[in-house]
Structure 1
Amino acid sequence: MTKTVAIVDDDASVRVATQNLVRSLGLAARSFASAEDFLASVRASPIDCVITDVQMDGLGGVELATALRSRGYDIPVIFITAFPDERVRARAMGAGGIGFLAKPFDSQQLIGFIELALQS
């Protein structure tokens, strides 16, 4: 069965580029423009990993990870952000993140985090 990665980012160009990268790995990819859109559809099909922007309109990535956990979903989360600082990183990792990358991120680093997420 093909693993599915969700990409949650309010920047369409990041969503498309990340989706293309995920698909190049032989994985299925679903993209969402907001955390709210993702949360509304998470029951519809299994998601094996989430890649999310930290700062978005409405719910941000850290709040998304917290909402997933509170709803009983134990999905690995990789955080990406254009504003990397240690406080943001600490919040993201404290919310259960398995990776934290600054935009523009290195594709190989993201692939490494995806592989780590899908091992579990």
Structure 2
Amino acid sequence: MLSFVVFVVGLVLVGGLLFLGASLLLGRGETQPPAELDRSPVELPDDRPVTGDDVRALQVSVTVRGYRMTEVDWLLEQLAQTIDERDVEIARLQAELDARTPADEEPRSA
């Protein structure tokens, strides 16, 4: 009977220590507060449009509860390609618009 009581007390003690250790390491399950916008380590240009190279140059910091680097790198590459395609399309449309002459435009009826 005494060995059973020692076993149960030991089991409760070890379980309590494991729970305490896990709580300290993993936190209480609370969500992280939103990042302050003016304290972000990620910088994008304010004086010009963002380019694909700007996105490729981003370095996102990793924390203990970080992210999967390969997924974020893939996402940033997709975003950079989309921005590059947008810039090429804008340049093409701008060149097409600049190539137009006033004679190409039809007069508007009132």
TM range (shorter): under 0.3
Q: TM-score, normalised by structure 2?
A: 0.19
**Larger strand proportion of the pair:** 1
Larger radius of gyration: 2
